[in-house]
Amino acid sequence: MPHDTSLIATIVMGLVLAFIGGFVAIRLKLPPLVGYLLAGIAVGPFTPGFVSDAGLAEQLAEIGVILLMFGVGLHFSVKDLLSVRRIAIPGAVAQIAVATLLGAGLAHLWGWSPGSGIVFGLALSVASTVVLLRALEHRNTLDSTNGRIAVGWLIVEDLAMVLALVLLPALAGVLGDNASAGSQATVGAIALALLRTLAKVALFLALVLVVGTRAVPWVLERVARTGSRELFTLSVLATALGIAYGSAALFGVSFALGAFFAGVVLNESDFSHQAAADSLPLQDAFAVLFFVSVGMLFDPAVLLRDPLEVLAVLAIILIGKSVAAFGIVLAFGYPVRTALTVSASLAQIGEFSFILIGLGVALRLVPAEGRNFVLAGALLSITLNPLVFVAFDRLERWLRRHPRILSILERGGGQTLSALSEPSDNGPRSHAIIVGYGRVGRVVGKTLKDQNLSVIVVDKDRRRVEALRARGVAAIYGEASTPGILAAAGIAQARLLVIATPEGFQTRRIIEIARELNPGIDIAVRTHSEAEVAHLESEGIGLAIMGARELSFGLTEYALRSLGVSPRRAAEIIQNERVSGAGGAFERRPEIPAREAPELRHRRADDEDSD
C-alpha cells in the first residue's frame, strides 16, 4: 500500500475480532466483555498471527477510557446514591479496605513492596460497573431495592478509584521501591507535591462545577435550537474530550477524572438523556477498543507459568470480597437476600482495575506480572460471575428452608418479621394478601385499607415491612415463592391473593403454593407479557392485567374523547379492544359479584340479556 495503514488495521482488526468474540460469548451465556478481552489476546504480541500496533492501541484505549468515564459521569445520580448512602458509603469503604488488605497480604507473600501490595489490592477491590449493570438487567432486578444498593455500592467504589487515580502519581515517591524508612528528607517534598496535586484538582473541580454547570448547558441549549442533530452530537463529544484533555494539559488531572466530571456537568442539564443517547454508539465502540487493548497486554502463558498465583487472585475476587461484603451488609442489619446480591455483584473486577493496575505499572509501582495476574483474575471472574449469581440463588433458597440458620444470620430480626404478631388461627379471615408493596401494590393496599377491608402485605424489603408495621399495617417479610411465607400470612383463610410484584418469573410458583394451601382462593396478577397473560388465563386465574397494555388503553380512551367520541362510545371501543386482543386483561368466574372494575370482565350473552 502507498501509505501507512497501521491505524486502520488496528481499528478494523480490533472491532472485527471483538464482534466475533462478543457474539460467541453471548451465545455461551457469558458477558460480551469476555469476548472483547479474548479478541485483544488474539491480536496481542503473546499470540501468533496478526499483531496490532501497541502504541496506537494504547491511544485508542485512552479515548475509550475518556468516553467510558464520561458515560459513568453522565449516568451518575446523586439522588440514587443518597437513597442508599447508609449502607453503600460505609459498606463500600469497608469492603475496599478489606480487599486491599487481602491483596497486599498476598503481594507480601510474593515478596513485593508494601506500595506494590497496596496498588495491587486496590485493583482487586473494585468491581466492574458495566458487568454489574448487565447482570442486574438480565435478572430484572436493576430497579429493585437490592439492585439500587448494589449499584450505589459500586458508584462509591468508582468514586474511590477516581480519587486513587488522582493521588497515585503524587504518592508514587513514597510507595515506590526506592522509598525507604530513612528517606525522611523526602517527606516534606512528597507532602508538598500531594498538596499541589490536591490544589490543582480543587481548582479544576471549582471551574467545572461552578463555571461548567452554567456554560455547558447554555452552549448545548443554543446548539439544540439549530435543529442539527449532527452538531449536537459533535458538541457533546467535544465537551467530553475537550474537558478531559484540558484537565490533563492544564491541571495535571487524569483523562478519567476530567471525563467523569464532564459527564456530571452534562447530567445536570436538561439535555442529559439526549446527550447519552447520541454519544452511546461512539462510547460503546471505543470502550470495546479499550477492552481489546487491555487484552493485548495479557500474556496467556501466565496461566501455565503461575497457576497458583492466578488461583490465589481469583480466590480473593470470588471468595474474599464476597465474604467481606456479605458480613458487612448483615452487620448493617440488612437481610440475607440483600447481602447475597451485593456479594455476587462484587465477585468480579473490570475496567477500573485495568486502569489502576496500568497506572501502577507505568509508575513502576507494580511489577509487570501484577498486570497479568489482574487481567487473568478479571477474565476468569467475569466469566464465572453468572454462575456466582446462580450459586447464591441456590444458597438463599437453602437458607429459606432452614429458618433457624437464617434467623441467626439476620440476628433474629428476619424470623420475627416473617410471622404475624398473632397466630393465624386468631388472625384475619376472608382477607386479601398483597405480594409486593411497590408502586402498584401500595395503591391496591391503600384503597382496600381505606374501605376498612382486611389486608396482609408480603414483601421482601425488610425496611418496607418494618415501616408498614410501624404504621399498624399487617406485613410479613419474606419471598412469597418460599414455602412458609404465604402460610404465615394466613393464605388458607384468605379470600384474595394479589400478586403485584414485577418479578414475573416467580408468579407461577407463588400461585402453585397458594392453591396448594387454599384451592378456592381468588387470584389477581400483574404481568408484563401477553404470553404470560394467556398462560394465566388457561390456568383459570381470577384476574390478570398487563400494565403496559392497560396504560395504552387509558391513553387511547382519552384520545377518542378528545377527538369528539362520546365517553360511553369510547368506553365501549376500549372494552372491545380489551377483550378481543391477545392477552392484556381478563376476569374469570362470572358467578363472583362484580367488584369496582366491571370494565375488565368479559361481556357474555347472558350479561347482554340481563341489560
- Is pLDDT above 70 for 420? no
Cell numbers standing for residue 552: 395504552
Q: Which CATH number fits domain 6-399: 3.40.1050.10, 3.90.1150.170, 3.40.50.2020, 1.20.1530.20?
A: 1.20.1530.20
Q: Is the pLDDT of residue 36 over 90?
A: no
First-to-last C-alpha distance (Å) of the chain: 85
Task: Report the percentage of the chain scoring pLDDT > 70.
Answer: 82
The residues, any chain, with a CB within 8 Å of residue 13's CB and separated by 6 or more, are 43, 50, 52
Residue 392, CA distances (Å) to 82, 386, 388 in order: 27, 10, 6
CA distance 559 to 233: 34
Which pLDDT tens digit goes with each residue over 152-184? Answer: 888 788 778 877 877 787 777 666 655 444 444
Question: What number does CATH give the domain 414-610?
Answer: 3.40.50.720
Sign of CA dihedral 534, 538, 539, 545: positive
Does the pLDDT of residue 20 top 80, yes or no? yes
Q: Where in the chain is the domain with CATH 1.20.1530.20?
A: 6-399
pLDDT tier for residue 49 given thresholds of 50, 70 and 90: confident
Share of the chain above pLDDT 90, in %: 13
Residue bearing cell 459500586 = 154
Mean of the pLDDT values across residues 317-338?
88
CATH 3.40.50.720 domain locations along the chain: 414-610
Residue 320 has pLDDT above 90, yes or no: yes
Per-residue pLDDT band for 314 (boundaries 50, 70, 90) equals: very high
All three cell numbers of 606, joined, read: 347472558
Instruction: Please list, in sequence order, all residues whose beta carbon lies within 8 angstroms of the beta carbon of residue 388, skipping any fewer than 6 positions away.
Output: 318, 322, 344, 347, 348
Query: What mean pLDDT do residues 40-55 have?
Result: 79
